[in-house]
């Protein structure tokens, strides 16, 4: 199953407080975090990082006041209502997230129509895509997770219910050259030469 409509897409993880005025350090910063400055975001708690979190992980909403530095990857953030180190400490190990629907609209405006290479998609767009065998044109799996190991990103395929082509989850590199183009309208992507990973 893909993400639910009320799911939240992780924009960054909050680390330790920075200074005494409520600023926090950030890591796992996504490329679209800057688009949410002066906008409301969700603060979520989850035991581990996932690109998409259930709505139930949200603990509060707040507004991003500013990101530092002003250009390039954001390293620190300041939120509305967080004006001391003590309040910032309460946000440590939380995630900054935005509604899935909002991110889907942004991605569609940037990309337009047509097929898209898998590596051009945001991780949240990959999750839930049905995977179709390029030779038989039969769907056999669904992308259930994307794990970014910095030098290598792994895509996990879960067998479709009732299918016996794939017996257990399968991990394939994102940059494997036999991925086809993703059709976001049909929510599917073709894959060839995948049996070598079984």
Chain centroid, CA 62 distance in Å = 20
- Asked if residue 2 is part of any domain, the answer here is no
Strand pairing partners for 161? none
CA 173 – CA 179 distance, rounded (Å) = 10
Sheet holding 153-159, edge to edge: 116-117, 179-183, 188-191, 130-133, 139-148, 153-159, 170-173
As a dihedral over the C-alpha atoms of residue 100, residue 102, residue 107, residue 109, rounded to 10 degrees, the angle is 150
The pair of structure tokens assigned to 198 is 């079984």
pLDDT tens readout for residues 74-128: 999 999 999 999 999 999 999 999 998 888 888 777 776 667 889 888 888 898 9
- Asked if residue 3 is part of any domain, the answer here is no
- Asked if residue 83 is part of any domain, the answer here is yes
pLDDT tens readout for residues 5-45: 688 999 999 999 999 999 999 998 887 899 999 999 999 99
Residues 186 and 150 in one domain: yes
Residues 12 and 85 in one domain: yes
pLDDT tens readout for residues 123-177: 888 989 999 999 999 999 999 988 877 678 899 999 998 877 888 999 999 999 9
CATH of residue 88's domain is 2.40.30.60
- Asked if residue 34 is part of any domain, the answer here is yes
């Amino acid at each position: 199953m893909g993400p639910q409509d009320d799911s939240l897409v992780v924009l960054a993880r909050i680390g330790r407080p920075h200074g005494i005025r409520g600023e926090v350090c950030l890591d796992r910063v996504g490329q679209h975090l800057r688009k949410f400055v002066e906008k409301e975001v969700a603060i979520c708690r989850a035991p581990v990082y996932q690109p998409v979190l259930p709505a139930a992980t949200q603990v509060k909403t707040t507004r991003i006041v500013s990101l530092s530095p002003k250009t390039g990857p954001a390293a620190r953030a300041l939120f509305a209502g967080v004006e001391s180190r003590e309040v910032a400490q309460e946000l440590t190990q939380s995630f900054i997230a935005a509604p899935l629907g909002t991110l889907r609209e942004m991605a569609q405006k940037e990309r337009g129509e047509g097929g898209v290479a898998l590596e051009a998609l945001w991780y949240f767009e990959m999750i839930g895509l049905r995977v179709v065998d390029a030779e038989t044109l039969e769907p056999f799996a669904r992308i259930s997770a994307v794990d970014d190991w910095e030098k290598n990103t792994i895509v996990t395929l879960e067998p479709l219910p009732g299918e016996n082509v794939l017996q257990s989850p399968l991990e394939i590199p994102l940059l494997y050259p036999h991925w086809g183009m993703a059709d976001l309208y049909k929510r599917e992507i073709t894959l060839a030469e995948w049996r070598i990973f079984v």
